Structure 1
Amino acid sequence: MIRFSHINKSFHAGFKHYPVLFDISLKVKEGEIFGFLGPNGAGKSTSIKLLLGFLRPDSGKIFINDLQVGKDTIQNHIGYLPEIPCFYENLTGLETLLFAGRSSGIKGVSLKNNAIHILKKLDLESGKDKRIKAYSKGMKQRLGLAMTLIHDPGIFILDEPMSGLDPLGRRLITDVILELKERGKTVFFSSHILSDIEKLCDGIGILNKGRLLYNGSVYGLMDSNSDISSIEDSFIRMIGNDNNANAL
């Protein structure tokens, strides 16, 4: 379970004060796939950094499985895929997963067997002994996801997981996310690919200019725009109406 409670965040540059998030409250249920949407600059990345404890809010609290982010230890409960994963590029794919597993406290033969199984699932088995500097962008993206899977956490936080993937890669990631849901895992991910959101998500949050405009089901968003047939059109209308209202 993930819960944001009245989160406010701003940044400072010299004497200037730049508010980024305004009173964000949302809840992601256990076992839910939750899509986090918003145009560039909406505050999605800042929200994810707060969720991971990389930043601290000015006010409010964030909880993961009833543990308070920034106060309690949450690392073993989550798997995180950044938008642009970084690696030790002289390691091989298999070495990278073994390193990630050992860093999470996993040891023994089962770690290697599990690592090979995950590489196979993400179509990286042929590259397991290849150095990462020879990987394509799509292979690196899939390896980044493999690293989130290796310690089998309960919650997955994925920032643009489909970024840089071809249709086959997107299908692989989609299948993995759906499999996680079947296993009762919670997935929180941001994306600009609204068709993926519509296909995968139980709940969604729509952020614009640091404010949460919608938090509910995909079907609820569609029902509120009964004259519109797609989540993309509903999203564009909501953002457009909000921008127009703020311009008045």
Structure 2
Amino acid sequence: MCQRLAKTYRAALSRGGVTALRGLDLAVPSGQTFGLLGPNGAGKTTLVKLLLGIAFATSGTASVLGRPAGDVRSRERIGYLPESHRYPPHLTGEQVLHHFGRLSGLRRPGRTRRVDQLLRRVNLGEWRSVRVHKYSKRMLQRLGMAQAILNEPDLLILDEPTDGVDPIGRREIRDLLLEQKARGATIFLNSHLLSEVERICDRVAILKEGALLREGGVADLTRPRSAWQVETRAGRPDAVAGAVARVPGARAVDGRVEIEGDVPAVNSLIDALRGQEVEITAVLPRRDSLEDVFVKVLGEGETP
């Protein structure tokens, strides 16, 4: 998607300008859901703008769907939901979708059928004739998702799609994204909600101050480490403490026992618990969450 991509913005108070991207190399596999992560100021929104042709790179190259970034033919196959999307307040939800449908080249009567289908899909059918200034944040986000997938895009670029949305709204958006993935669309997602990214993304990239710190599959980045969690039946804290005291590296945490080590180490813990007649209900390998990985990578990453 991009090779040695760099972007520096001119700044009146900075002689060298403000660098937003630093020689970024990144590829997004077709048909996958790709998450772009990073703190504020990492360059995520700048990268999205470069891919859409809204901004231009200082150096390096970017391509989208086999065409140069910003190419008209590639943009016809892209659906885009910006972070702060605003629609003319005097338009109804139905009028908004027809407006964007015309911009996407959709013609009647196919456009009418598609608009009707999407309004019903995002549960706005009864609000189709209501002006959007009366829509809640959740409703506007659902309308935005309908607008982004209106032309059944091959590539869906979403900038903070669940920002400010309640848990029910996040689930609705997640279901829509999974539907798009199931039909073969590639999804490029920029989000601060790491739990949502972990649930729906195949791969992620972590940026800091315009530089790529880590990229990989979510399953690989959060793979189980050499640590175990042993859950026990409640009610015998003294017996659990006695078993833990006999096993190096074991510790009791919030009603469970954790241990760092290999299989023989966890077997020793299990034997010690059974020796104290503690009932074991589960033995689970511990894995880092995507949030754990994110915090660790940012902590290790040097400032470019």
Counterpart AA for 1:55: A
Q: Hey, what's the Cα distance between the residues in 2 that align with 1:111 and 1:153? A: 14
Tell me which amino acid in the other structure corresponds to 2:208.
N
- Measure how far apart 1:222 and its partner are: 1.9
Question: SS of the residue aligned with 2:27?
Answer: strand
1:72 Cα offset (Å): 5.5
Residue 151 (structure 2) aligns with: 151
1:71/1:99 CA distance change after superposition, 3 Å = closer
Provide closer, same or farther for how the CA distance between residues 226 and 6 of structure 1 changes in structure 2, counting only shifts above 3 A.
farther
Deviates more, 1:92-101 or 1:9-18: 9-18
2:6 pairs with 1:8: yes
State the AA in 2 paired with 1:189: L
Partner amino acid, structure 2, of 1:183? R
Which ranges in structure 2 are unaligned for 5 or more consecutive residues?
228-286
Correspondent of 2:291 among 212, 232, 241? 232
Instruction: Report the counterpart of residue 174 of structure 2 in structure 1.
Output: 174
Q: Tell me the residue number matched to 1:96.
A: 96
Secondary structure of the structure 1 residue equivalent to 2:151: coil
Answer whether contact 1:225 1:234 (CA < 8 A) is retained: no
> Structure 1 residues 214-223 or 35-44, which shifts more?
214-223
Question: Secondary structure in 2 aligned to 1:205?
Answer: strand
The 3 A distance-change label for structure 1 pair 229 and 27 is: same
**Aligned-residue CA RMSD in angstroms?**
1.7
What are the superposed Cα offsets for residues 6-33 of structure 1, whole Å, 9 maximum, x if unpaired?
1011111234422221110111111100
In 2, Cα distance between the equivalents of 1:62 and 1:226? Answer: 39
> Measured at CA, do residues 55 and 127 of structure 1 come closer, stay the same or move farther in structure 2, by a change above 3 Å?
same
- Long gaps (5+) in structure 1: none
Instruction: Report the counterpart of residue 47 of structure 2 in structure 1.
Output: 47
How many matched pairs? Answer: 243
- Report if the CA contact (8 A) 2:21-2:210 is conserved: yes
Q: What is the distance in 1 between the residues matched to 2:95 and 2:31?
A: 31
Cα deviation, residue 168, structure 1: 1.5
Find the residue that maps to 1:74 and give its secondary structure.
Answer: helix
Q: Does the 8 A contact of 1:35 with 1:197 survive in 2?
A: yes
Cα deviation, residue 73, structure 1: 3.6
- Residue 226 of structure 1 deviates from its aligned partner by 5.9
Structure with larger RCO (C-alpha < 8 A, sep 6+): 1
C-alpha distance 217-151 of structure 1, shift in aligned 2 (>3 A): same
- Cα separation, 2, equivalents of 1:77 and 1:206: 26
The equivalent of 2:142 in structure 1 is 142
**Cα offset, 1:117, TM superposition:** 1.1
Matches of 2:115 and 2:41 in 1, distance apart? 36
Shift of 1:137: 1.3
1: CA distance between counterparts of 2:126 and 2:2? Answer: 41
- The structure-2 alpha-carbon separation of the partners of 1:236 and 1:53, relative to structure 1 and needing over 3 Å to count, comes to same
Tell me if structure 2 keeps the 8 A contact 1:156–1:186: yes
Map of 1:143-222 to 2, 5 A cutoff?
Answer: 143-222=143-222
List structure 1 runs of 4+ shifted beyond 4 angstroms: 224-228
Please give the per-residue CA displacement for 1:83-141, whole angstroms capped at 9, x wherever unaligned. 11111110100111111111211111221121111111111112111001111111111
In the alignment, residue 292 of structure 2 is paired with which amino acid? Answer: D
Structure 1 match to 2:58: 58
1:56–1:70 contact (8 Å) kept in structure 2? no
Alpha-carbon shift at residue 246 of structure 1 (Å): 3.6
Structure 1 residues 50 and 133 mapped into 2: Cα distance closer, same or farther (>3 Å)?
Answer: same
Cα drift, residue 229 of structure 1: 2.3
Counterpart contact for 1:6–1:59, Cα < 8 Å = yes
The one-character-per-residue Cα deviations of 1:149-179 (angstroms, maximum 9, x if unpaired) are 1111110000000112111111111001001
Letter in 2 for 1:235: F
Q: Is the 8 A contact 1:51 1:69 kept in 2?
A: yes
Which residue in the other structure is 1:38 paired with? 38
What whole-Å deviation, never above 9, does each CA across 1:27-79 have from its counterpart, x for those lacking one?
Answer: 11111000000011111011111111111111111111110114554220100
